[in-house]
């Protein structure tokens, strides 16, 4: 954790979440008060500076909207948020997480995610706006089975850290 000893907290105010996402050029068209994903994040001086979202569909989930404000990148906040949301999802019965990204594939691969087949994606994931059109078809589609170590992620040497904090 950073020297500031920040805590991850549930977030519910879209007025706080959306500016972080739009500031990182992430899509927000499908996020509304009537159907918001669960969001978690970090605050600094009362302002939200990093967020991650989770959409849960029984035993599968969509990790989405991982964003760290530019002035707070390079501090490990994204890694902490991903680890937190994975643990939270597992505690809620999620067995596998899926995600789409255009900018952070290396970050997620280093975090144990691997390529997934869009054709074999669970129906609930395929039905999400992110999967069905909000994210470009060129987005990397990745998945991770929760609750057990990914042998591929631990084979050989440790993966190199990404050059920058991810935006998605």
pLDDT 10s digits, 7-43? 999 999 999 999 999 999 998 988 988 777 899 999 9
- Structure token digits, residue 36: 């918001």
Q: Is the pLDDT assigned to residue 6 strictly greater than 90?
A: no
Q: Is residue 140 part of a domain?
A: yes
Q: Mapping DSSP to helix (H, G, I), strand (E, B) and coil, where does residue 10 land?
A: strand
Q: The domain spanning residue 133 has which CATH number?
A: 3.40.630.30
Residues 162, 136, 78: CA angle, nearest 5 degrees:
30
Q: Flag whether 3 is in a domain.
A: no
In a domain, 123, yes or no: yes
Answer whether residue 168 is part of any domain. Answer: no
CB count in 10 Å sphere of residue 19: 16
> What is residue 160's predicted lDDT score, i.e. its pLDDT?
38
pTM: 0.83
Could you tell me if residue 162 is inside a domain? Answer: no
Mean local confidence (pLDDT), 95-123: 95
Domain assignment present for residue 2? The answer is no
Which two three-digit tokens encode residue 143?
A: 């998945």
Strands (E), 26-139: 38-44, 47-57, 60-68, 96-101, 114-115
Q: What is the pLDDT of residue 13?
A: 93
Residue-averaged pLDDT of the chain:
86
CA triple 41-117-136, angle to 5 deg: 60
Whether residue 4 lies inside any domain: the answer is no
90 assigned to some structural domain: yes
- 95 or 160, which is more confident? 95
For residues 105-116, average pLDDT: 97
Per the structure, how many domains does the chain have?
Answer: 1
* CB 69, CB 32: distance < 8 Å: no
Residue 121 has pLDDT above 90, yes or no: yes
Please say whether the beta carbons of 58 and 97 come within 8 A: no
Domain of 115 in residue numbering reads as 9-154
Q: Name the β-bridge partners of 141.
A: 100
């Amino acid at each position: 954790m950073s020297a500031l000893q920040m805590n991850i907290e549930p977030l519910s105010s879209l007025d706080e979440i959306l500016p972080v996402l739009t500031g990182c050029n992430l899509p927000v068209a499908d996020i509304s008060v009537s159907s918001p994903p669960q969001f978690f994040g970090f605050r600094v001086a009362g302002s939200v500076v990093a967020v991650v979202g989770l959409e849960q569909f029984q035993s599968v989930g969509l990790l989405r909207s991982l964003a760290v404000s530019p002035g707070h990148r390079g501090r490990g906040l994204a890694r902490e948020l991903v680890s937190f949301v994975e643990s939270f999802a597992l505690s809620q019965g999620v067995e596998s997480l899926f995600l789409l990204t255009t900018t952070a594939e290396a970050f997620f691969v280093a975090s144990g995610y691997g390529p997934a087949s869009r054709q074999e994606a669970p129906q609930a994931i395929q039905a999400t706006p992110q999967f069905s059109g909000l994210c470009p078809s060129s987005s990397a589609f990745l998945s991770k089975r929760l609750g057990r170590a990914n042998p591929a992620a631990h084979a050989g040497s440790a993966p190199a850290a990404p050059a920058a904090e991810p935006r998605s």
